[in-house]
Amino acid sequence: MIFDTHAHYDDERFDEDRDTLLKQLHQEGISYILNASASPESLEDSIELSEKYPFIYAALGIHPHDADKMNEDLIDKIRVLSKKDKVVAIGEIGLDYYYDNSPRDTQKYWFERQIELAKELKLPIIIHDRDAHEDTVNILKKTDAGQVGGIFHCFSGSAQMALDMIKLNMYISIGGPVTFKNARKTIEVVQAVPLEKLLVETDSPYLSPEPFRGKRNNSGYLVHIIRKIAEIKGISESEVAEATLANAKKVFRLK
């Protein structure tokens, strides 16, 4: 049993085979999937997926790429949609200084605003942090985001940063990059972080692990990420799968 804690099955790259693929993945051992919203349009799409498939849950939030589209009407929309039974987190939200698709001050404002919404709703957050470690950490501390806790999606910081974030009630999520040849920093993170604070994800359709790098990702490829984590920690693949499943259920408050 495996929990993919971050995917985007509403993405157009799944339009031709979404239903067939999702049913096949579930039959093959992907017990749960968290579909993370990113754009304003994806809010309803994530809800629809969670309502159609018993094993899919939804996170609602606006990615920093679209921060300049944010307004209080969207905050209200997320607030209303979050009342749906299978909405378990606010995300993905955060900062992206690699692409800078939205002005940095705008990104920071709406990151903070969505954290405050998560605190109001008592839901954990899913954090996108790319080349913005210092500002991300500062905002998490400023807003006291540890009240609700959450997940650093596809964590790209240092091992020390990961340990510091655990103290802020955050989980560290590991994706395909841990299998890459240049994965030294991510391997150090996996070595340092206790198993009870690790999660696994695909970020489908992005970030496929080796040997599928460059191809469309899907939750079935999580076995390669789990295998690499097991190798790094010197434990069995089943231990990694079971622990990360239990961790995901804990952070999303699922029975």
Cβ–Cβ under 8 Å, residues 88 and 252? yes
Quick: pLDDT tens for 174-198: 999 999 999 999 999 999 999 999 9
Number of domains the chain is built from: 1
Tell how strand 30-36 and strand 125-130 pair up. unpaired
* Residue 188, domain extent: 2-251
Cβ–Cβ under 8 Å, residues 96 and 107? yes
Annotate 158-222 with three-state secondary structure.
Answer: CHHHHHHHHCCCEEEEECHHHHCCCCHHHHHHHHHCCHHHEEECCCECCCCCCCCCCCCCCHHHH
- C-alpha 168/C-alpha 183 separation (Å) is 25
Q: Which two tokens stand for residue 71?
A: 């307004």
* Confidence at residue 255, expressed as pLDDT on a 0 to 100 scale: 87
**Bridge partner list, 7:** 35, 204
Q: Which two tokens stand for residue 14?
A: 């799944």
Quick: pLDDT tens for 126-175: 999 999 999 999 999 999 999 999 999 999 999 999 999 999 999 999 99
**What is the average pLDDT across 217-235?**
98
* Confidence at residue 198, expressed as pLDDT on a 0 to 100 scale: 99
Q: What is the CATH number of the domain that holds 166?
A: 3.20.20.140
- C-alpha 31/C-alpha 56 separation (Å) is 9
pLDDT at 50 exceeding the cut of 90? yes
- C-alpha 53/C-alpha 39 separation (Å) is 21
**What is the average pLDDT across 26-51?**
98
**What is the average pLDDT across 36-64?**
98
**What is the average pLDDT across 36-41?**
97
* Confidence at residue 134, expressed as pLDDT on a 0 to 100 scale: 98
Confidence band (pLDDT; 50, 70, 90) for 33?
Answer: very high
- Helices (H) and strands (E) counted in the chain, each on its own, are 9, 8
* Confidence at residue 222, expressed as pLDDT on a 0 to 100 scale: 98
* Confidence at residue 171, expressed as pLDDT on a 0 to 100 scale: 98
- C-alpha 135/C-alpha 95 separation (Å) is 8
Cβ–Cβ under 8 Å, residues 59 and 89? yes
- Which residue has tokens 């990104």? 107
Quick: pLDDT tens for 65-98: 999 999 999 999 999 999 999 999 999 999 999 9
Q: What is the mean pLDDT of the chain?
A: 98
